Amino acid sequence: MLIVLKRRELHYYDEIVFTKKLTPFAFKLYIVLWKLCDENERSYLTNNQYKDILGANENTVKRAFKQLESQKLIKVKKRFDDNGFSLSNEIIILPQKNKLKC
């Protein structure tokens, strides 16, 4: 997947890199989240879908999500259907300084 960043987005992402302690993979996942989120800044893809998009194993994706959540960049909410079966998580991109729209 080719992700193209606009100039104003690069400034925002630079700020995230310098103010948050993220691994390169967690930063890459954060960019993908921004690019794939809906108008409400939420994403509903599965870890397997992120794994396929980023070409990584599932444990790497899970660690990156934990890192983004610990840095208060995202919030992960578990979702369940009416029968109690697990659905994909709801990933919410939390407001930051110099917030961008998806």
pLDDT tens for the chain, 102 residues long, are 444 444 445 555 556 656 667 888 998 999 899 888 899 989 999 999 999 999 999 999 999 999 999 989 999 999 999 999 999 999 999 887 655 455
Q: In angstroms, how far is CA 47 from the centroid of its own chain?
A: 11
Whether residue 98 lies inside any domain: the answer is: no
What does the CA dihedral 45, 47, 48, 49 come to, rounded to 10 degrees?
30
Whether residue 47 lies inside any domain: the answer is: yes
Backbone angles phi, psi at 43, to 5 degrees: -135, 145
Whether residue 101 lies inside any domain: the answer is: no
Contact indicator for 74, 91 with CB cutoff of 8 Å: yes
Whether residue 76 lies inside any domain: the answer is: yes
Whether residue 99 lies inside any domain: the answer is: no
Domain count, the chain: 1
DSSP 8-state assignment for residue 92: E
At 22, which CATH number?
Answer: 1.10.10.10
Please tell me the pTM assigned to this model. Answer: 0.76
Whether residue 77 lies inside any domain: the answer is: yes
What domain range is 73 assigned to? 7-93
Greatest distance between any 2 Cα atoms in the chain = 46
Whether residue 102 lies inside any domain: the answer is: no
